[in-house]
Structure 1
């Protein structure tokens, strides 16, 4: 019997395997690529080590890459054959059950099992980290907050990983709209560990949701060495940097970052960041055909099989942006055939049916210039977009598509509602005021359009909320 660094009992592990396992958990919480090597080293030292094999399986499944999932499935099946009949501890059995649910495509059951596990073992860092990612993939904002919040008091503040839990909690707070508390928790987490990229990411999301893009740019600039390299999350944080730069109107900086960082992305996470950024430009009429072409070339193998509909949406964006409407329609047809088959318990099946397919069809319709169809597809589901995962910031690409389609279709009453909702929620966003100006132009109200553009310009120069308050708020 051995124990991990948080005092939890484990079976089947040598001293060296435990050391590699503990290091792997630390690398995982730091989002460093070394987690794979450490996890595999733990299993190499002790092939029958249950928690080591569980960790390797989770890592293969959480990339949302089909090939990684296939490899994880084969490796975990081999582990179970080797250890059939072995006596496992209750916590180990619970993890094995959670992995099996995830291998079967049942994200929701996996998340529920991990929640039960966390209630019994609140200092199980792996259960918390994996559960947090499951909540992200399924768009469950409440659980993003409460899964971690319910465990926090079991962690002493001098534990080296307490800050990581606080950073996770900060992200959950942001996604549930508790922005002041999120900023407080996120900044404290970064204070405890300046290289906690997930906590930095939580703070960045909070500033995004509050429209404090000037503050966000300065925050990221001041911590550039802590987040910009050395993790498998740095590309995503650069994406957030670009969102701030877009609000400030600095397209040149956005494209420079795209070409130097995002254009070389290889993982699904990195490719969807690239697509989401270019799609925002596409909605504003910015032709990026060569960038789209290079990005579209990377998607086919990654969406050859249905696995995660959030990825499908970004693949379709890439095909449409590159002018390859036929490929986008082919992917949509494949997903229609997929949802026509009954697959009970497969989370992605329901996601695709309820949200993924309507969104993908709407993107194709946008590419064809059928803006009425875009509105008809997206408006009924606009409050259910979270069901296929991602964050508020990521899903805003869908909401912007709906708004732009309403404007182009001449559906002015609906466009007014959508713009009013955005301005009422975030009056400090230059983008929102530019859309107000576009609507006023369409209605023939040149004076109102001019006022809205001045407002947008003032906000862009002032950095949004909390910046030059007297001038722009």
Structure 2
């Protein structure tokens, strides 16, 4: 029986199919569109190739769109019906079971099965990568750190995929709050493999979470050729660049990135692209910068994507777009649909609980913000602010929710809460100009002009540094 490039036994019709799967996984680890063609080539070599069918299923669901998941389920069903599971290895059977869990929306169940595979086969890059993405989509920082960290000692310096595993581990370390270690591991990953865009992304997150926006911009500038094109991850990295620009006070540069990339002429119209666009404009809206024309175009793009319930995290960004465009009634219709979705969702679908516990309160708060009901925003967001991670994404992405809570606390006169929120932020990121400007706003609200002036001076100095 043939083996893959990492020494794992694979059930396939021949070595050519296995080499195609190796190539597909290499493309996927670098977030390149070539993963699709290589997977199709593997299935052309062997139409019954179990792991190629599993990979197709993982890709369809992890696209975070209902249409992709539906197509994946429809493609997987005839394969599964004709499968002789006894002919597969135990590892492959476990992957098939994990794919079945994922196809019904059970992210946690799939992630648990993939963790069992990794424990037995720490060199299974498919299990590691799929599991890592599930940990990201469920907001599980500890698993993001430990799933890959627990496998690393089985890898060697001459393994060509060690760098991308280090990049994955770096992201997990960052999300778990180990910023110094995350930076070191991420920098090593990218030094070993400059095309490791997830590793670049991990380093960028580390600088974001520490408020080191100048360092982040310099890092991205130095490696522009490695990350800015040729992958389906470049848009998100440009979003991080735009966040650095906003922190530096350069709104014009952030909007230039928005118009060129985030929602530019070549925009894909996928949920992953649209949510980055919404997340950037929402930060501007919170500061009173309406961007009406951009919001209108973005809301129009979101409308067909948001028709079906599939991802509570995506729903939040769709509501941002509708609210930003002044179409609060459309946001309310989406919210009503998602409330009804709780009754029709598959009982094992992770998104059902995500929607109930986090998605609906956040979406209702965003709609309330659009109506100027800031006390209601606080009442909705304050009780869940420490568990917003439950509907996935990263700390940097979920910060839009925390900023909305802070802004509404200020606007509703809840100055004690606003002071607490700002103090927490400064304690984590004392080099963030945004945090000091909000400290100034709180001080102004309580009549402490001296503290407000000092805080604004601090923000200006940080931006000039």
Class of the TM-score when normalised by the shorter of the 2 chains: over 0.9
Contact 2:123 2:151 in 1 (8 A): yes
- Number of aligned residues: 462
Partner of 2:460: 457
Match of 2:76 in 1: 76
Residue of structure 2 equivalent to 1:258: 258
Q: Deviations over 1:390-429 (max 9, x none)?
A: 0000000000000000000011111111111111221111
1:343, distance to aligned residue in structure 2 (A)? 4.0
Contact 2:431 2:462 in 1 (8 A): yes
Q: Which segment is superposed worse, 256-265 or 82-91?
A: 82-91
Q: Alpha-carbon deviation of 1:18?
A: 1.4
How big is each residue's C-alpha offset from its partner over 1:297-353, in whole Å with a ceiling of 9 and x where there is no partner?
111222222111000000000000011111100000001111245742210000000
CA–CA distance in structure 1, aligned partners of residues 333 and 399 of structure 2: 25
Residue 307 of structure 1: aligned partner? 310
Contact in 1 for aligned 2:104/2:346 (Cα 8 Å): no
What is residue 28 of structure 1 aligned with on the other side?
28
Q: How does 1:306-385 map to 2 (within 5 A)?
A: 306-341=309-344, 343-385=346-388
* Mapped partners of 1:194, 1:106: distance in 2: 34
Shift of 1:207: 0.6
How far has the Cα of 1:3 moved from its partner? 1.1
TM-score normalised by length of structure 1: 0.96
Measured against aligned partners, the alpha-carbon deviations of 1:41-63 in whole angstroms (never above 9, x if no partner) come to 11122100111111111111111
Look up the SS of the partner of 1:12 in the other structure.
coil
Residue 471 of structure 1 corresponds to which residue in structure 2?
A: none
Which blocks of at least 5 consecutive residues in structure 2 are unaligned?
none
The alpha-carbon deviation at position 86 of structure 1 amounts to: 5.5
Give CA deviations for 1:120-163 in whole Å, capped at 9, x if unaligned. 01000000000000000000000000000000000111100000
Give 5+ residue unaligned stretches, structure 1. Answer: 463-473
Matched ranges for 1:346-425 at <5 A: 346-425=349-428
Q: State the 4+ residue runs in structure 1 displaced beyond 3 angstroms.
A: 340-343
Q: Does 1:211 align with 2:214?
A: no
For residues 54-65 of structure 1, the aligned pairs below 5 Å read: 54-65=54-65
Map Cα deviations across residues 426-462 of structure 1 (whole Å, 9 max, x no partner). Answer: 1111001111111112112222211111110001111
Note the 1:274-285 alignment, pairs <5 A: 274-285=277-288
Task: For 1:150-189, list aligned pairs within 5 A.
Answer: 150-189=150-189
Residues 263-302 of structure 1: pairs in structure 2 closer than 5 A: 263-264=263-264, 265=267, 266-302=269-305
> Is 1:95 matched with 2:98?
no
Q: Could you tell me how far apart the structure 2 residues matched to 1:54 and 1:96 are?
A: 6
Q: Distance in 1 between matches of 2:303 and 2:116?
A: 38
Once residues 161 and 67 of structure 1 are traced to their aligned partners in structure 2, the CA distance between those partners, rounded to angstroms, is 31
CA 1:57/1:340 → structure 2, altered by over 3 Å: closer, same or farther?
A: closer
Question: What is the alpha-carbon distance in structure 1 between the residues aligned to residue 149 and residue 129 of structure 2?
Answer: 13
Query: Matched residues in 2 for 1:86 and 1:294: separation?
Result: 52
Aligned to 1:244: 244
Give how far 1:84 is off. Answer: 4.3
Q: Is this contact kept in 1: 2:12–2:18, CA < 8 A? A: no
**Residue in structure 2 matched with residue 7 of structure 1 by the alignment:** 7
TM-score w.r.t. length of structure 2: 0.98
Distance 1:212 1:401 in 2: 22
CA distance in 2, matches of 1:171, 1:329: 35
Alignment of 1:435-450 (within 5 A): 435-450=438-453
Cα RMSD, aligned residues only:
1.0
